[in-house]
Amino acid sequence: MALPRLRTVAVVAGAALLTRRALRRRISRSPLWPMPALPEPISGYSRRRATTVRRLLITERTAVADGVVQLRLEGAQLPRWQPGAHLDLVLPSGLVRQYSLCGDPDDPGTYTVATRLVADGRGGSREVHEQLQEGAEIEVRGPRNRFPLVAADAYVLVAGGIGITPILPMLRALAASGADWRLVYGGRSRGSMPFLDEIEKLGAEDGRVTVVAQDEAGHPDATAVLADIAPGTAVYCCGPEPLMAAVTAALPEGCTLHLERFSAAGADGADSGAFEVELHRTGRTVRVAAGQSVLAAVREELPHVPYSCEQGFCGTCQQRVLEGEIDHRDELLTDDERADSMLICVSRCRGGRLVLDL
């Protein structure tokens, strides 16, 4: 009697062991078993853009114009950068904001950024002005460059206000190389325009620099600025959206246009209608109203969804799209990434429905 009983126990135990192993293999392939396996979410940690987070020391804080402060950040073994590059600053609150590097690319161990206080903004500039002082440390990511200075026959640069920050290193490089360039620099007043003294000196000998202060001469006339430029000229513009729209409209044929925006084009969603977003992992559907971001609608259901800049620059809110046609409005994703993902803070839907891997 004992032997058959031992055989039965062994068979049952062996079957249970095989079942457990099979179950573990299935679960390992699909964390949501018995649902079909889904890829891991990609929000907030795109491997392509993963950059080392560095803690830099603020060694100098300087007022360079009315409402504009410049920060000198120092650290060891800092990556080199080229004119047009920017840094991500991780502010004490956790907000991430992008600021153009405006110092000298050949100055090792130092990054320099400048920011204007925007009283009615989203809080980033106020935090910089009120909390970042000499002697403090700050986390940074980058640098990255989506506004590079390319080879061209000639250059026309148009800057508005704090938009001079990515342009300034370009001016220094062009002046040092003997290139054919000229600059139109506009602002509310001369006192509000950072780096004005240095810029006027760069173009003092041959009149390459035109300063247009609004309280003296109104706004720059983009049509007049670009009227006589030759084909092969590269036009660089950074500043308020109306200025960039005017430069875009006035660009002559045969010239190339390079823009650096403070916010993604169409980021407010005002020119798009409502649509639905299905959250695949949770089985819920949310309605995105005209003028409302996908991020805002999704966070009403899933408050934990990460985000930061809300301008389509940092990539924190990147989500995989399983179905639907995307209306991309960001300044960050590559063509490959745009095939199956979107930044839900600014991008929208071309149609009535999207399905997100959430």
Residue 52 has pLDDT above 90, yes or no: no
Residue 30 has pLDDT above 50, yes or no: no
Give the rounded percent of residues in the chain with a pLDDT score beyond 90. 62
Which residues are within 8 A (CB) of 181 and not within 5 positions of it... i.e. 6 or more apart? 154, 155, 156, 157, 171, 174, 175, 208
Residue 32 has pLDDT above 50, yes or no: no
Residue 19 has pLDDT above 70, yes or no: no
Interval 202-229 mean pLDDT: 92
Interval 15-41 mean pLDDT: 48
CA atoms of 299 and 2, how far apart (whole Å): 63
pTM of the model: 0.73
**Bigger pLDDT: 291 vs 179:** 179
Residue 56 has pLDDT above 70, yes or no: yes
Give the tens place of pLDDT for each residue, 79-117. 999 999 999 999 998 888 889 999 999 998 999 999 999
Give the tens place of pLDDT for each residue, 152-169. 999 999 999 999 999 999
Main-chain dihedrals φ then ψ at residue 354, nearest 5 degrees: -125, 150
Report whether the peptide linkage leading into residue 242 is cis, meaning its omega lies within 30 degrees of zero. Answer: no
Give the tens place of pLDDT for each residue, 294-306. 999 999 999 888 8
The most confident of the ranges 35-39, 264-268, 317-321 is: 317-321
Lowest mean pLDDT among 34-48, 58-72, 101-115, 287-301: 34-48
Alpha carbon separation from 135 to 24, 56, 67, 109 (Å, rounded): 53, 10, 21, 16
Instruction: Identify the pLDDT of residue 250.
Output: 96
Interval 25-37 mean pLDDT: 43
